[in-house]
Structure 1
């Protein structure tokens, strides 16, 4: 008997905690899953910046759950030490969070909530309980409406309502009994959404369809105007509305309230189709967002429209005046095609006589489309270490071809200049624009040595464009990932530090 007790104590001792979070390993992970009905697992790396930011919120969430919902456990696994477990669950970036129910390791659910402690707690409570809660009596109904920023209720039963509830991680869904329905004035079979902002209540008039109900909830769950921050970003980016109007304005500015009111007025006409978002220029963390749109704090207040997706197309209003009318005209102009995509560009350099020619948005077309010249163009980012490492070689390359009138060795800052139809997925990206009419652009994927680059250009792009993957100095680590969306979506809680 003592041997059994000792063995159990030894096994229990192998599961340690840090800040209220269980520390998972290959040796104890099975036991953690088997002994706990609901488990959220964070796969992290010690060097990961996103993981370090998440850590205090994750520990805070663990503490809150220990008091309110002790059946839910939070676990962290160092994926750099526990490679077998990370491999089993296809961990491709850090942090990766997966939710497991009832010990089933084959059906881990990707975490889809925010990264604040309250977001984590709310998401887990919903995922570990019924898709919709039951509200009995007038007092329960009043309390639920008061306690939730957004709550969707139904007077009756509907499989489609339950399906919509099950698919939504952010909003509370509830089924009303007769007294609760009477208190909230919801007729039999009807659905209503209550919120602590805007109109306060919206009655659903659509079809009995999970997709339609979900679309209604997603549309109505955000205020007419949302402030951009790490708490609201998951809702802004997680919905189906991909067209966003952004007001860049400092709250300290005397015109802020007036401009915000203009946004609120315009937003009413495009509800469910376009999101209206305010980015506070006073917040230091928003500087990358400003940079992504080619703006500085001195440019505030300013308005831009962006269409999320592959193109990440940006649009600029025809006037700097910010009124409900000008904002509506921007949306209508983009939708009609009257306002075309705005491509950022630096000014053309006054002096451009160096061995490497500087291309900006304003001189891109005329330079790369010159039928009498080959153009080798490096797309770089000022912060890219690999671009900096390439710079001396690229300068030598420019000097090598300085006497060739038909060759231009060029570079462009791809964070400050945009080019229609040019796809840049990482830095540095090097593209060859051959001379001649309608010649196909060739992406350079060879060795970044001077010899290989010279061969590539002198052969008109037919030689030297292979072997990069085999060269020990050129592999995936020599290519810095670039995601257009990350600069605007950096607050989106899907963010990872890649492996």
Structure 2
């Protein structure tokens, strides 16, 4: 059997976690949720566009040379579905040139890893609500991204190869404060480490927890993983603190390991469960 490239092994493992009806319903409910109607911000001038992107963890901008094309009403239509995403629209030639836009394009900007992801021109011509929503759902990475079978695609499309996972029950009394500190720590490693939240209260996430040789009784815990060579480490935490997360990440970046080594054969067996 031909060996699978190391970067793909963990991804293949993650895709064995099927999207349950409950999780699917939760994602759909999140997408459909809307409060006050919002409209994309009109961006005129490069400084305004730069400020808009810098102020949002995830920004989606429609760069249109022609506002009469079918993609424009589709773009306006999805704005209500994503309350945690900032939407802008621009027809300014200088703005388009600044972001290397030469034709009608919809771009997603991620502050967490400074990525600009563009929908190709052929996709724009055939875009509909479902396709555009899917593009945004998959690629919307925040400073802390909650793991589910949709967001995992975007996580592994990122050029950032080190992922930190906080495994914790969202129903626990300490969750809100822990997430707040975890989010603050994430900003210290922007562009270096992707911070992920794994809700241990979700049954389907049990396989993710066991992958790192952890039990529910050992949670909350941190697990850090490098996709390039599959090196990983774990740390049980009684309290999530900014300093504790920072020290754990710094140690891994410097090559320090807290847990035992895991050889490639063992990791391959786990992936092929």
TM-score w.r.t. the length of structure 1 is 0.32
Higher RCO, Cα 8 Å, sep 6+: 2
Per the alignment, residue 198 of structure 2 pairs with: 279
Aligned to 1:257: 176
- 1:343 aligned onto 2:184: no
Per-residue CA deviation, residues 364-401 of structure 1 (Å, 9 max, x unaligned), is xxxxxxxxxxxxxxxxxxxxxxxxxxxxxxxxxxxxxx
Residue pair 1:244, 1:276 contacting (<8 A) in 2 also: yes
Q: Hey, what's the Cα distance between the residues in 1 that align with 2:80 and 2:266?
A: 44
Q: Counterparts of 2:233 and 2:103 in 1: how far apart (Å)?
A: 34
The answer as to whether partners of 1:248 and 1:303 remain within 8 angstroms in 2 is: yes
Q: Aligned partners of 2:230, 2:103: CA distance in 1, in Å?
A: 29
Shift of 1:301: 1.0
CA distance in 2, matches of 1:238, 1:280: 22
In structure 2, what is the equivalent of residue 330 of structure 1?
248
> Is 1:146 aligned to 2:79, yes or no?
yes
Equivalent residues of 2:64, 2:89 under 8 A apart:
no
Equivalenced residues, count: 192
Q: Which runs of 5+ in 1 are unaligned?
A: 1-49, 57-115, 120-130, 167-171, 174-191, 196-201, 207-211, 345-417, 427-481, 488-499
**Aligned residue number for residue 313 of structure 1:** 231
Between Structure 1 and Structure 2, whose CA radius of gyration is higher? Answer: 1
Q: Is the 8 A contact 1:164 1:214 kept in 2?
A: no
CA deviation map 1:409-457 (0-9, x unaligned) = xxxxxxxxx24xxx3289xxxxxxxxxxxxxxxxxxxxxxxxxxxxxxx
Structure-1 separation of matches of 2:269 and 2:98? 39
Higher helix share: 2
Residues 301, 234 of structure 1: alpha-carbon distance in 2 compared, 3 angstrom cutoff: same
Aligned counterparts of 1:324 and 1:273: Cα–Cα separation in 2: 16
The 3 A distance-change label for structure 1 pair 266 and 328 is same
Kindly provide the CA deviation profile for residues 161-185 of structure 1, in whole angstroms up to 9, marking residues without a partner as x: 348998xxxxx43xxxxxxxxxxxx
Distance (Å, rounded) in 1 between the aligned partners of 2:65 and 2:251: 46
TM superposition shift of 1:213: 4.0
C-alpha deviations, 1:332-360, integer Å up to 9, x for none?
222223x226326xxxxxxxxxxxxxxxx
Q: 1:424 aligns with which of 254, 262, 265?
A: 265
CA distance in 1, matches of 2:177, 2:185: 13
Aligned to 2:164: 245
Note if contact 2:219-2:236 (Cα within 8 Å) is conserved in structure 1: no
TM superposition shift of 1:146: 2.9
Partners of 1:259 and 1:324 in 2: how far apart?
9
Q: After TM superposition, give the deviation of residue 267 of structure 1 in Å.
A: 0.7
Give the secondary structure class of the aligned counterpart of 1:226.
strand
Q: 1:319 to 1:299 in 2, by over 3 A?
A: closer
Q: Secondary structure at the match of 1:279?
A: strand
Verify: 1:223 aligned to 2:162, yes or no: no
